[in-house]
Amino acid sequence: MRANLRRVDIAADCSVYFSNGISFAAAVSSARGIAPERKGTLQTTMTDEIKRTTLMVRDANKAAHWYETVFGMTRWMDTPFTLSGNQLAAGKKGDKTRLVILKCKHDVLGMIGLLEWLDPKQDAPKELPTEIKFGAPIFVVASEDAPGAVERARSLGSRVHCEPHDWTVTGAGGVKKDMIGCSFWDLDGYFFEVNQVVRVHS
C-alpha cells in the first residue's frame, strides 16, 4: 500500500500522504504560479500541487478542535458560503455550508478543510466505519510524538485501531528507519496512520 501513496508536506513535524485513485475535494495550482489554461491539453510542462483535502464533517467546531489538539494544526480560514451547484459533487445549489481550513506550517500545501452543511443538514452515517473501504483516504502523518497523538485522540473520543508499536521501514534511496507507529480514526470516520522516526540508519 505504501508504494501507492503520494506525500504532501504540511509541516516540519506533520506530513500527509494521499492514496492514488481517490477523488479529493482539493484545490489544485501550478507549482510555478502559472494560471492554468481553460482548454485541456494532453501534455503539460508544469507540475500541479494538491493544496487541500476537504472532509465532510458533522460538526466543524468539534472536528477543528480535534485536529488542533491531536496534531497541533491551526485555523487558516473559517467562513460560511453558499453552494453554487456547479463544481462540488455534493449537495445542491443554495445549500448553506461552513468551511474551516486548518494548516500545520505551510499555508499553501497540504491543508485540511472541514465542510459542514448548515442548511439543510447533510445526512451522516449513524455508525462510524471500523475498517477502510475502497475509495476512502488514508492519511499518514509524520509526528514527533506518536504515543502522545494517540492518547490525545483517545481522550477526545477517537476509536484507536493500533496502539503505538515499534517497526522498521526501508524508504526512498534504501534508507532504513526505525519507527513508532499507531493508527486511529477522527471523529467523523477518517483514518490516520501516525509514525514517529526514532532512528535513521546510515
CATH 3.40.640.10 fits 2-30+47-200, yes or no: no
User: What's the average model confidence in pLDDT over 129-148?
Assistant: 95
Kindly tell me if the per-residue pLDDT of 10 is higher than 90: no
Comparison of pLDDT for 25 and 120, the residue scoring more: 120
Kindly tell me if the per-residue pLDDT of 160 is higher than 60: yes
> What is the dihedral sign for C-alpha 154, 123, 21, 39?
negative
Per-residue pLDDT band for 1 (boundaries 50, 70, 90) equals very low
- What is the per-residue pLDDT for 180? 98
How do strand 15-19 and strand 176-185 relate by DSSP bridges? unpaired
> What is the dihedral sign for C-alpha 79, 84, 86, 89?
positive
Residue ranges per domain, the chain? 2-30+47-200
Question: How distant, in Å, are the alpha carbons of 17, 30, 149, 163, 186 from that of 138?
Answer: 7, 24, 17, 17, 12
Burial, 66: exposed, middle or buried (Cβ in 10 Å; 0-12, 13-18, 19+)? buried
Kindly tell me if the per-residue pLDDT of 23 is higher than 80: no
Among residues of the chain, what percentage have pLDDT more than 70? 78
- What is the per-residue pLDDT for 41? 65
Residues 72-95 pLDDT 10s: 999 999 999 999 999 999 999 999
For residue 94, give the 3-state DSSP assignment: coil
Comparison of pLDDT for 12 and 65, the residue scoring more: 65
Kindly tell me if the per-residue pLDDT of 13 is higher than 50: no
Question: How distant, in Å, are the alpha carbons of 30, 54, 95 from that of 42?
Answer: 16, 27, 35
- What is the per-residue pLDDT for 25? 40
